Amino acid sequence: MLLASNRGFYATPQAQAYTVAGSFMHWLLTTRGTAAVSALYRTESFGSSLGEPLSRLSDEFDAFLAAITVSPQLAHAADDRFRQRPIFARPCAREVAALRDEATQAEGRGENLKAAELFGRCAALDPADPGALEARWNALREAKSPEAEAALADLLASPAIDDAMRARVDVDRGDLAALAGHADEARQDYQHAQELGLDPPMDRAVQIRLLALAFPDLAEPLRRYFDPEDEDVALLGLSEATAAHPDFGPLRYLIGLALAARGEPAWSMEELGKALALGLPDDLTAQALRVEVGDGIRQQRYDQAAEALARLMPFSKTPAAQRQADDLLSRLQIERRIFEPAAAPH
């Protein structure tokens, strides 16, 4: 186990190592209690503080993880997040990092052909990293280069590409097809991405894209929203689109999410309320209600937050969704206890 030694920890990719360590400590807190974990921090000895050696605890933790059912969507999301290898396992790591930095700076200047050339050099130095091939394809697309199609073929032929990246490529291809007015082709790409598996936020975004195929004029404002160069312009585009499509709830949903992210909870709740009234698919309804709960708590509008939470509960059918609802309930109870004025005596 990577926690057994410094060598194992540092030989593991950073994101994976710290995630596993944090998960292990959370498991210890849950199963052994705060006092035992506090003693572990003081003594740095598993035997004296927990009464068991690390090897036995590691085996028990591994058994706990093995019993957890993971959905294909979350498995693909994990593959995507933890794809990066430890630095000592990457060839020419310093040179590749320098080339990537240079390529990113070139993209920022709008020099997409230069960026594509640099990403291509990264891919040649480290063929086990399909991310460089994906970045090269994206840069060539932005440059509207005729070489983009060949770059995509190189990416899809890479033995290192996984289903998470294939799904992301399908979403990008679907966006291009939607912008070109090829709704059937876009639908096929989006649905194939869903079959491969998407993490929950991306799956919700693809559901919106699929619904929007009924309205070809929404392709451009949605592209600006999902890949924004200017967030204000993207939000304005969605707002203008509601005039042409006043009954399309997903537009109000996206505006509400954007306003929540910008720290505008009152406006966010208003837009999400409109979206829910117009009707949304179940996954989007659940997310809108989660955001409404958070918005209500931030404004100390606890009754509204509690109402949204009650409406959320029937949609919390999976263990992950139930944990999210439970976390929101705990947060609401804590903040209400601290900040809500005490009720006047009768």
For residue 88, is it within any domain?
A: no
For residue 19, is it within any domain?
A: yes
> Taking the mean position of all CA atoms in its chain, how far away is CA 160?
22
- Inter-residue contact 169 to 190 (CB < 8 Å): no
Residues whose CB is less than 8 angstroms from the CB of residue 160 and which lie 6 or more positions away in sequence, other chains included: 127, 128, 129, 130
Rounded distance between C-alpha atoms, residue 222 and residue 253, angstroms: 12
Residue 160 in tokens: 């290192």
Rounded distance between C-alpha atoms, residue 269 and residue 311, angstroms: 14
Angle 206-276-172 from CA coordinates, rounded to 5°: 10
The Cβ of residue 63 has, within 10 Å, a number of other Cβ atoms equal to: 9
Domain that holds residue 57: 2-68
For residue 162, is it within any domain?
A: no
Handedness of CA 245, 248, 254, 257 (dihedral sign): positive
pLDDT of residue 345: 47
Q: How confident is the model at residue 56 (pLDDT cuts 50, 70, 90)?
A: confident
Rounded distance between C-alpha atoms, residue 82 and residue 213, angstroms: 33
Q: How many domains does the chain have?
A: 2
For residue 11, is it within any domain?
A: yes
Of 41, 68, 95, the residue at which a domain comes to its end is: 68
Residues whose CB is less than 8 angstroms from the CB of residue 276 and which lie 6 or more positions away in sequence, other chains included: 249, 285, 288, 289
Of 46, 68, 90, the residue at which a domain comes to its end is: 68
For residue 197, is it within any domain?
A: no
To which residue do tokens 């091939």 refer?
A: 133
For residue 275, is it within any domain?
A: yes
DSSP state of 214: T
Of 21, 39, 68, the residue at which a domain comes to its end is: 68
To which residue do tokens 């837009």 refer?
A: 271
- On the question of pLDDT at 72 being above 90, the answer is no
CATH code at 290? 1.25.40.10
For residue 133, is it within any domain?
A: no
- On the question of pLDDT at 188 being above 90, the answer is yes
pLDDT digit string, tens, across residues 1-54: 555 555 565 556 666 777 888 888 888 888 888 888 888 888 888 888 888 888
What is the pTM assigned to this prediction?
0.75
User: What mean pLDDT do residues 65-93 have?
Assistant: 64
- On the question of pLDDT at 111 being above 80, the answer is yes
pLDDT of residue 286: 96
User: What mean pLDDT do residues 182-189 have?
Assistant: 97
User: What backbone phi and psi angles, to 5 degrees, belong to 159?
Assistant: -65, -15
Rounded distance between C-alpha atoms, residue 287 and residue 94, angstroms: 41
Whole-Å CA distances, 137 to 130, 141, 155, 228 = 11, 6, 8, 18
Please state, for a pLDDT cut of 90, what percent of the chain lies above it: 55
Residue 321 in tokens: 């969704």
For residue 261, is it within any domain?
A: yes
pLDDT digit string, tens, across residues 260-312: 999 999 999 999 999 999 999 999 999 999 999 999 999 999 999 999 999 99
